[in-house]
């Protein structure tokens, strides 16, 4: 346990949302099936990463701070 460092981050963190979106895209495009061969899995995930990078895929946030404040205002104290 001395070598493990725990970093707690809020579940609503934007980087986590981005990671979930990318994992979902990868699942839909290349890993939504059983891949028994480790080398094939590595090749396909690298190909997916290269494709997304070449395409310069971006995430367009549609929820502004103002809209979020309005929707979540009932939860504020």
For 14-26, the pLDDT digits (tens) are: 667 778 888 888 8
In this prediction, residue 40 carries a pLDDT of 92
pTM for the model stands at 0.55
> What contacts 65, CB < 8 A, 6 or more positions away?
none
Question: Would the pLDDT of 4 be above 80?
Answer: no
Predicted local confidence at residue 29, as pLDDT:
86
Could you tell me which of 16, 22, 17 has the C-alpha nearest to residue 45?
22
**How far is the C-alpha of 57 from the C-alpha of 51, rounded, in Å?**
9
Radius of gyration of the chain measured on its C-alpha atoms: 18
Give pLDDT tens digits for 44-75: 999 999 999 999 988 777 777 788 788 877 77
Domain spans of the chain, in order of start: 14-75
Q: Which of 54, 53, 51, 59 is nearest to 20 (CA)?
A: 59
């Amino acid at each position: 346990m001395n070598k493990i460092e725990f970093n707690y981050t809020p579940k609503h963190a934007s980087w986590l949302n981005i990671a979930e979106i990318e994992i979902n895209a990868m699942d839909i495009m290349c890993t939504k099936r059983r891949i028994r061969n480790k080398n094939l899995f590595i090749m396909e995930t690298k190909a997916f990463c290269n494709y997304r990078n070449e395409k310069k895929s971006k995430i367009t946030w549609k929820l502004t701070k103002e809209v979020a404040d309005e929707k979540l205002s009932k939860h504020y104290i």
